[in-house]
Amino acid sequence: MNVDRSLQVLERHLFQAIVDTAYMVGVSAAIALVIGVLLGLLMYLTGHPLLIKNRSLYGIVGFVINAVRSLPFIILMFALSPVAVAITGRQIGWQAATVSLSIAATAFFSRIAEAAFLDVDRGVIEASIATGASLPLILWEVVIPEALPALIRGISLTLISLIGFSAMAGAIGAGGIGDLAIQYGYNMYDDVVMLVTVVILIVIVQLLQLGGDLLAQATSKK
Amino acid sequence: MSHIELVDVSVHFESKGSTSVAVDQVSLNIEKGEIYGIVGLSGAGKSTLVRTINLLQEPSDGQVRIDGEELTSLSKESLRKKRQNIGMIFQHFNLIASKTIAQNLEFALKASRYPKKKRKERVEELLEIVGLSDKANAYPQKLSGGQKQRVGIARALANQPEILLCDEATSALDVETTEEILNILKHINQQYGITILFITHEMDVAKKLFHRMAVMEKGQVVEEGPTFDLFANPQVEMTKKLVSRALSLDIPGKLMENLEEGELVNIHYQGSGAYSPIISTLSKKLDVHFSIIHGKVDYIDGRALGVLLVHITGKAEEIEKSIHLLADDVFQIERVSQDRTVTEVTEYECR
């Protein structure tokens, strides 16, 4: 095995791969975070009998999210390629991949956010309603702060899934760490590249999990 | 006009095509400044009923009126305002875990748009009322159950409500803490004239706190009246069951076997009768002997209700005489048969 050649490959591609992954994951996570929280909140509010009960809206949003989530990411990515072209003007590259990554992550995170909101003690919500508080006040002062630790855990979960999804983005030439592992490590039997990328992925995932746990713990008063 | 009026309130729950009736045509009038209790076994519909009063539970049928104003027809905004006038405390306290005690109270003030500058002062005032001034910056997790409920009370009082709803507010607390909470409730009832509606399955709470009460069974109110009357002279089976358990008048079977001759009578006395020396007077007057098997004086809503189980021995006619004389002096007297399984009761006309 030619270790020198492996090191050459890593030297030439590793930094760019990490940057590409960071872009894909960062941009799509940011989008998923904002839209996902809103969708999760919408589902929570429309599903709650005492807030804005609206069964049909709840049903529609839930159906769309489930539809997105039922497709394996690789299929979703090809299916959304016209959308990616329309938005980014590109058919390949990390920008194109980010479109489908964002949509997949949004669907994923919105369910997690909904679960986090549902986990807020119903009694506390009822007590807040009983004090005569307005809906915005209940949202800002009760629902969101009480759900925050669970939301933070959900964010690290979503980031970790996104790193997994982004490996498949190599299929449309998006680059990234996963792509490097497949291109050189798997297709060209370069075990050193494979090992290095695997270690990097493990470290990133561990750090994300640890960071999420610590942050969740810090915000939890329980 | 009563403070709170429930008119034919029903609540139905639909699930999987079948309808269950949680509250069945309940009508109640609760007067201003009274402490009104609703008792019943769990599942009787008490909690569902109390939740209709601030519309946490929309009634399927009937009317809920406060000061004559119908709540179900209010706009969202007016209902919100109305709710600020109805405090509520809960079995599990329901405090916001991510906020300090002071912030929990401040939340209720924000809900009513209480002037920002005066909030701190009001929070301190509220903490003072419930004796938790030193816990302002603690998180709920750090408090004991009794302290949490006191925060709950302070929160409920934040906007100076005229009504306080208590949903099993002491059921998660131990006996001593319950006593403490009941004293605070009595105090705020007297101090501020707040009408209190208290739901519980604990008859001990009923005895100590309620002025009037209703007994619920299967979604219906089966008996209603002054608390003392319901304890002293329950009419329906459910009330009798709840009351006898609370007064714990069970007679051990072993004891009955040992009483061979004479008569066993159960005497209920109340009010001023509780203080006159009935038994000793009689035993001087007649040639009978009394042995006290079981006795208890309970104070219900501040009035004495005594129960005494006495075994009378002596000549048969003397015993008869003594029972009749006793009947003149006490509220109620029952003859208890020697057969320990069946407690046969003969009631006399009492004064």
Across the interface, of A134, A141, A221, the residue whose CB is closest to B141 is A221
CA distance B72 to B86: 15
Domain ranges of chain B: 4-245, 251-347
Fold of B251-347: Alpha-Beta Plaits (3.30.70)
Asked if the C-beta of A207 comes within 8 angstroms of chain B's C-beta atoms, the answer is no
Architecture of the B4-245 domain: 3-Layer(aba) Sandwich (3.40)
CA distance B286 to B75: 73
Neighbours of B317 (CB within 10 A): 9
Which of B221, B92, B237, B111 lies closest to B169 in space, CA to CA?
B92
Across the interface, of B84, B139, B140, the residue whose CB is closest to A131 is B84
Strand order in the sheet with B61-66: B18-30, B4-15, B61-66, B69-70
What are the backbone angles phi and psi of residue A205, rounded to the nearest 5°?
-65, -45
Chain A partners within 8 Å of B54 (Cβ): 130
SS3 B217: strand
| Average pLDDT of the segment spanning B128-133 | 90
Lowest mean pLDDT among A104-118, B20-34, B153-167, B237-251: B237-251
Would you place residue B139 in the very low, low, confident or very high pLDDT band (cuts 50, 70, 90)?
Answer: very high
Does residue B340 have a pLDDT over 50?
A: no
Asked if the C-beta of A222 comes within 8 angstroms of chain B's C-beta atoms, the answer is yes
- Per residue in B284-315, pLDDT tens? 888 888 888 888 888 887 788 888 888 888 88
Arithmetic mean of pLDDT over chain B:
85
Predicted local confidence at residue B337, as pLDDT: 67
Lowest mean pLDDT among A66-80, B51-65, B91-105: A66-80
Predicted local confidence at residue B273, as pLDDT: 61
Beta bridge mates, B213: B37, B225
- Per residue in A109-137, pLDDT tens? 999 999 999 999 999 999 999 999 999 99
First to last CA, chain B: 34
CA distance B93 to A198: 49
Q: Is A200 exposed, middle or buried (0-12, 13-18, 19+ CB in 10 A)?
A: middle
**Long-range contact list for B221-224, CB < 8 A, 24+ apart?**
B221/B26, B221/B27, B221/B28, B221/B38, B224/B28
Does residue B344 have a pLDDT over 70?
A: no
Query: Model's pTM, two decimal places?
Result: 0.81
Asked if the C-beta of A130 comes within 8 angstroms of chain B's C-beta atoms, the answer is yes
Q: Is B79 exposed, middle or buried (0-12, 13-18, 19+ CB in 10 A)?
A: middle
Which of B177, B161, B30 lies closest to B108 in space, CA to CA?
B161
Chain B partners within 8 Å of A219 (Cβ): 98
Residues of B16-38 as b/e, b for ≥16 C-beta within 10 angstroms?
A: eeeeebbbbebebebeeebbbbb
Contact A129 B56 (CB under 8 A): yes
Residue A140 is given by DSSP the state I
Contact B159 A132 (CB under 8 A): yes
**Residues in Cβ contact with A142 at an 8 Å cutoff, skipping those fewer than 6 apart:** A120, A124, A125, A128, A133, B96, B107
Contact at 8 Å (CB) between A39 and A110? yes
Predicted local confidence at residue B200, as pLDDT: 92
Locate the chain B residue with the closest alpha carbon to A141: B107
| Average pLDDT of the segment spanning B231-235 | 85
Locate the chain A residue with the closest alpha carbon to B52: A130
Asked if the C-beta of A55 comes within 8 angstroms of chain B's C-beta atoms, the answer is no
Asked if the C-beta of A137 comes within 8 angstroms of chain B's C-beta atoms, the answer is yes
Positive or negative: CA dihedral A11, A12, A13, A15? positive
Does residue A208 have a pLDDT over 60?
A: yes
Predicted local confidence at residue B263, as pLDDT: 80
DSSP B112-134: TT--HHHHHHHHHHHHHHTT-GG
- The domains found in chain A, sorted by start residue, are 3-219 (1.10.3720.10)
Chain A partners within 8 Å of B172 (Cβ): none
Across the interface, of B85, B98, B112, the residue whose CB is closest to A146 is B98
Does residue B347 have a pLDDT over 60?
A: no
Asked if the C-beta of A2 comes within 8 angstroms of chain B's C-beta atoms, the answer is no
- Please name the amino acid found at residue B120: K
**Between A185 and A101, the higher pLDDT residue:** A101
- Per residue in B34-84, pLDDT tens? 999 999 988 888 999 999 999 999 999 999 999 988 988 888 889 989 999
